[in-house]
Amino acid sequence: ILLRYLYLELMLKPLVNLKGDDLTLFAIWLVQAFSGGSHYGLLLSAERGSAKSTLTRQINQIVDPSRATTMQLQKKLSDFQDVLADNYLCCYDNLRSIPVEHSDAIAAATTCSTIAKRVLYTTGDISYRKLSNVFVLNGINLFATESDLAERFLYFELKKLSSNQLRTDREIEQMFKEYRPAILGAIFELLAKATVLIHHPVSVKPTRMANAYYEQVAIAKAMGLTESAFDKII
């Protein structure tokens, strides 16, 4: 039974430039990306040649396939909020920094928020749009400098791939097509088991992102980890 739940990590291993505890935590995050409620974001700080953009595109194709695979950060906050309102998974590629206003908007959207906008300048009508997003941000030496955002993200550092690890986009795409059904099957099986385990008591009481933490604990238990083992990893 345990091997069945570890199957997700085995499928991800040749596709993801992460190892050990990082790969385990990434697998847990990927399962949670399919659930409702608040979510941790994913921040990929990487060297050149670490396949950060490739990984970001793969996440998009697993979680929320769309035309907007990866995006550049919109400069106007209102435009940025419109994009968040129209997408579930938001993947931003090759960021150098995150403006404070955008950082606050991202932090709010991870735990669900609502934006209000006037429909027309000639009327007093207001439209309300809910923001509830899963984020993937990547960049070279990218860090979340605002504490409010940093506490809502899981941070992974991708190392540069060696020459024998490099693959063409076509090779990666073919591997992904072969593994995708198995990856999705493992994700949904783990998520189904986690919906039962989430009602079990948890000893750790996090100060921020409590709902997201409890959900990840349940997913970790579904994968065969103990609560203390997960807490050490995260």
Q: How far is Cα 132 from Cα 114, in angstroms, rounded to an integer?
A: 9
Q: Name the β-bridge partners of 27.
A: none
Q: Do the bridges between strand 113-118 and strand 126-131 make them parallel or antiparallel, or are there none, so unpaired? A: antiparallel
- Spatial contact of 33 and 221, defined as CB atoms under 8 Å apart: no
Tell me the C-alpha to C-alpha distance, in Å, between residue 101 and each of 6, 127, 148: 40, 21, 12
Write down the residue that tokens 């989430």 correspond to. 198
Q: Which residues of 56-65 are buried (b: 16+ CB within 10 A; e: fewer)?
A: bbbbbebbbe
Q: What is the pLDDT along the chain (234 residues), one digit of tens a residue?
A: 555 556 788 888 888 888 999 999 999 999 999 987 788 999 998 777 777 888 888 899 899 887 678 888 889 998 998 898 888 999 998 888 889 999 999 988 888 777 777 665 556 677 777 888 899 999 888 777 888 888 899 999 888 877 676 677 778 778 888 888 989 999 999 999 999 998 888 887 776 788 899 999 999 999 989 999 998 998
Q: Do the bridges between strand 126-131 and strand 134-140 make them parallel or antiparallel, or are there none, so unpaired? A: unpaired
Token reading at 47: 């060297």
Residue 94: left (phi > 0), alpha (psi -120 to 50), or beta?
A: left
Q: How far is Cα 58 from Cα 75, in angstroms, rounded to an integer?
A: 25
